[in-house]
């Protein structure tokens, strides 16, 4: 098995795990479900995840150059704090399926941001794809409602998707220079600090009221989506590059949508199919044309 094949497999597994994250988060913080406080829940998840990677973060602190530590901290705040806190706030009122579809715009965002990073003008097909994707997002927003999500929640989700895409574009240089465990440790440690500031004071009271089922879901999300999936993504994207790894994000909306319907009883509406289809079409156009 070649290194590229292994990288693709790790990236796919990370996205499959992340596809389940909106379902678990919606179950825990969503209105009409468990409705625990969003900020303390995310702080608990990443506080424990940061402890798992503490030895590698400490090793990086001792061995990395200051410039790389600064970049790692920026990546952590953008990718860990910037994705997870807005995402959890949006998940209170947005269905897991809708979240997955909105997150499906991430590969397109990655292509556009990578073009800006490289100081090149996106190709005409990419601009057309951006227009189609924007139309899909508008359709999802217009087709929402109490069962799918309100405008405020959808904006939170789109902000989190943009910040995650930015993380994917700026982290590859660190992955080329350093061990993936150390990079993951630094980014999680840096990104967890703002999360603890935002929600740390509420962790004890929230955790004291957790039911066994809530603990099971929380621990599964910590170790599968916050620890394992992030490590696999960093390993896989280092081998594939940000744009090629972004292709695999096609799978995420399907997993989230199916999980929301099967596990949370969420409705399926025509707007989701049409809007999600336009987003997927825009991603396909941008990825294929930029790759040629």
Q: How many residues in total does the chain contain? A: 292
- pLDDT reported for residue 30: 94
- pLDDT reported for residue 67: 96
| Residue 235 CA: distances (Å) to CA of 56, 64, 163, 177, 192 | 15, 19, 20, 12, 20
- pLDDT reported for residue 134: 75
3-state secondary structure the chain: CCHHHHHHHHHHHHHHHHHHHHHHHHHHHCCCCCCCCHHHHHHHHHHHHHHHCHHHHHHHHHHCCHHHHHHHHHHHHHHHHHHHHHHHHHHCCCCHHHHHHHHCCHHHHHHHHHHHHCCCCCCHHHHHHHHHHHHHHHHHHHCCECCCECHHHHHHHHHHHHHHHHHHHHCHHHHHHCCHHHHHHHHHHHHHHHHHHHHHHHHHHHHHCCCHHHHHHHHHHHHHHHHHHHHHHHHHHHHHCHHHHHHHHHHHHHHHHHHHHHHHCCCCCHHHHHHHHHHHHHHHHHHHHHHC
Cα angle 279, 144, 102; round to 5: 30
Is-contact 129 108, C-beta < 8 A?
Answer: yes
- pLDDT reported for residue 1: 66
- pLDDT reported for residue 90: 95
Distance CA 30, CA 38 (A): 9
Is-contact 287 243, C-beta < 8 A?
Answer: yes
φ, ψ (nearest 5 deg) of residue 149: 155, 145
Give me the tens of pLDDT residue by residue for the chain, a chain 292 residues long: 677 788 888 888 998 998 899 999 999 999 889 999 999 999 999 999 999 999 999 999 999 999 999 999 999 999 999 999 999 999 999 988 888 888 878 877 887 898 888 888 767 776 777 778 777 777 766 665 555 678 899 899 999 999 999 999 999 899 889 988 999 999 999 999 999 999 999 999 999 999 999 999 999 999 999 999 988 988 888 777 766 776 677 677 778 888 888 899 888 777 767 777 777 777 677 655 544 4
Distance CA 221, CA 210 (A): 15
Q: Which two tokens stand for residue 220?
A: 């599964």
């Amino acid at each position: 098995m070649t290194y590229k094949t292994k990288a693709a497999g790790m990236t796919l597994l990370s996205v499959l795990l992340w596809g389940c994250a909106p379902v678990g988060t919606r179950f825990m913080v969503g209105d009409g479900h468990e409705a625990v406080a969003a900020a303390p829940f995310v702080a608990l998840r990443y506080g424990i995840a940061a402890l798992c990677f503490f030895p590698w973060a400490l090793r990086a602190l001792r061995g990395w150059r200051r410039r790389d530590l600064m970049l790692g901290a920026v990546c952590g705040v953008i990718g860990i704090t910037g994705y997870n806190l807005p995402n959890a706030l949006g998940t209170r009122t947005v269905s897991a399926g809708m979240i997955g579809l909105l997150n499906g715009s991430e590969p397109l965002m990655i292509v556009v941001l990578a073009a800006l990073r490289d100081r090149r003008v996106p190709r005409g097909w990419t601009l057309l794809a951006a227009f189609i994707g924007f139309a899909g997002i508008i359709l999802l927003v217009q087709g929402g409602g109490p069962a799918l999500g309100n405008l405020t929640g959808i904006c939170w989700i789109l902000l989190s998707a943009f910040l995650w895409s930015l993380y994917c574009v700026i982290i590859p240089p660190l992955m080329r220079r350093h061990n993936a465990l150390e990079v993951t440790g630094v980014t999680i440690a840096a990104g967890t600090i703002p999360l603890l500031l935002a929600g740390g004071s509420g962790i004890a009271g929230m955790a004291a009221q957790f039911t066994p089922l809530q603990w099971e879901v929380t621990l599964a999300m910590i170790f599968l989506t916050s620890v394992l999936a992030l490590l696999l993504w960093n390993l896989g994207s280092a081998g594939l590059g940000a744009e090629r790894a972004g292709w695999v994000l096609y799978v995420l909306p399907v997993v989230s949508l199916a999980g929301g319907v099967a596990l949370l009883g969420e409705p399926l509406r025509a707007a989701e199919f049409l809007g999600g289809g336009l987003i997927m079409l825009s991603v396909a156009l941008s990825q294929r044309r930029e790759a040629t």
